[in-house]
Amino acid sequence: MKKLRDVLFWSGIFLVILTYIVIKPLENLDEMWNFNVARCIANGLIPYKEISMVSTPLLGFLTAIFLKIFGTEMFITRVLAAVLATVNLGILYRICIKIKIPNSIGKLLILVVMFIMKDYYCLDYNILVMTLGLIILLLEIKSFEQENKNKKIHIIIGIVSGLAICTKQSIGLLISVVVVLNQLFFIKNKESFKAICKNIVFRIIGIIIPVIIFIGYLFITGAFNYFIDYCILGIKTFSNKISYSNLLKSDNTTIKIFSIAVPVILAIAIVLNIVLRILKKEDELLFLTTIYCLPIFAISYPITDNIHFLISITPCYILLFYGMGIVLNKIKWESFKYALEFFEITSFIFIILFTGYTEIKYREELSALSKYRSLNHFSNIIVDQKLEKIVKDVDNYIVTSEKDVYILDSNAALYMIPLDRYNKNYDMFLRGNLGSGGEEKQIRNIEENSENTRYLILNNNYNLNWQTPKEVINYIKERFVKSGTVGIYDIYEKEQVVEYEPEE
């Protein structure tokens, strides 16, 4: 009976998350860009060499596998997003159990996290790298339970850390540093020093394995220099930033509270670890949960918007859970056997009822999904009729144009995906995504290759995305001639100079 309840509980979690994801209209740029990268990889294009991207490509490759099997539809990525979110919550739950929180309380806490995140779940490399971080923390706790003597776990921890580097290099590197250095905390004497050194070596070997495979792929495909250009040298051109202080101005009360509470919780945990260390009363589990919060919290930098922030604080829930666990574990749970059973049943009934409520509330949107099939690769995705018309008008213009057409807008992929086309550096037209030369390099490229080209620029009735390379836009407007409009875009091209031919 308990196993059946667990199956129904997690099935309900998955269905609720999936429903909230699939009823979203076509408007999330991160979702579109991630799908476009995976689509291009599935079509055989090589990251960096033929695809403009600034993060390492593990998410793109994993998604591409499913697109090759089930078809290159964005709807597939939405199902994958729900699976990833459910796995993420499942790992959180397993960590709760490992830190001695009763099953029933753990499920209630997981429901709270789901409610906080349900409107923000999507297929994103930040969510994947955060999930890998949680997997590492779960493995660390298991290793601690086995007194750090299981060599296989240390290699596996290293491999997962290497996969994190292959998902998002900056956060992955921070996680890997923690994976290697946190072992120094467990040195107690000369004997433990030797054992810890061996563990560190195993972890480093594990980290190297996926990284070497990735670097080998770059060399074999001739993409290594492009990787350096986009992912390392090009980062200095990334000037996009949203200040942490903006969270305090958010309309979301939960965001406001957490923006104050999370730094306080982290500060308390760090100070508590230091004090316990001085008193020689170390709490290894508290240390592990604290140390892994820090690299993942870095996801919120430099763009501290709601989604980046909520993803980055996920491990901090564990700190909160652990603090609760310390208090709760002082309670003799045997005396509250029936209360815990009540919580267990309450959680089960709630998720079943809420699943039913969600399916009924959004039944019209869910039943209408099948009618959205007019845009290629966006089947079963809600597309506003006005937006659909604009996409069709612009795509028709691109197809019938006797010149090459490039869209200088963050939404460029929206128009190119239905046409099965990809234009490197234009389909994710953002500052920091143009390689080491940045906007100046792009302007030089336009200067040299615009004789038979038209550029579409968002007209003045619409606001440019805040990450748009405006220097490139201004260059086009100043040096090129506006020759017409299509949809929401103005058309610019080089002025044609007609040479004078005297009459004979």
pLDDT digits (tens, 9 = 90+) for 207-254: 999 999 999 999 999 999 999 999 888 777 776 788 888 888 888 888
3 state SS of 328: helix
Residue 126, pLDDT above cutoff 60: yes
**Residue 503: what pLDDT?**
46
**Residue 117 neighbours by CB under 8 Å, 6+ apart:** 85, 310
Beta-bridge mates of residue 493 = 454, 481
Q: How far apart are CA 300 and CA 310, in angstroms?
A: 8
pLDDT digits (tens, 9 = 90+) for 446-471: 888 888 899 999 998 888 888 888 99
pTM of the predicted model, to two decimals? Answer: 0.92
**Residue 11 neighbours by CB under 8 Å, 6+ apart:** none
Q: What is the DSSP string of 408-439?
A: -STTHHHHHTTTT---TTTTT--TTSS-TTHH
Q: How far apart are CA 204 and CA 209, in angstroms?
A: 9
**Residue 282: what pLDDT?**
80
Question: Contact 382/372 with Cβ under 8 angstroms?
Answer: yes
What confidence tier does 435 reach under pLDDT thresholds 50, 70, 90? Answer: confident
Task: Pick the closest to residue 58 from 120, 154, 118, 127 (CA basis).
Answer: 127
Residue 325, pLDDT above cutoff 70: no
Alpha helices for 23-123 (secondary structure H) = 29-42, 58-70, 74-98, 103-117
Question: Contact 304/250 with Cβ under 8 angstroms?
Answer: no
Q: Which of 200-209, 241-250, 413-422 has the lowest mean pLDDT?
A: 241-250
Query: What average pLDDT does the structure give for the chain?
Result: 88
**Residue 484 neighbours by CB under 8 Å, 6+ apart:** 490, 491
**Residue 466: what pLDDT?**
84
**Residue 137 neighbours by CB under 8 Å, 6+ apart:** 95, 288, 289, 292, 315, 318
> For residue 353, how many other CB atoms are within 10 A of its CB?
11
Q: How far is CA 498 from each of CA 6, 211, 230, 491, 501, rounded to the nearest angstrom? A: 76, 56, 40, 20, 9
Question: What are the percentages of helix, strand and coil residues in the chain, rounded to 5?
Answer: 65, 5, 25
> For residue 105, how many other CB atoms are within 10 A of its CB?
19
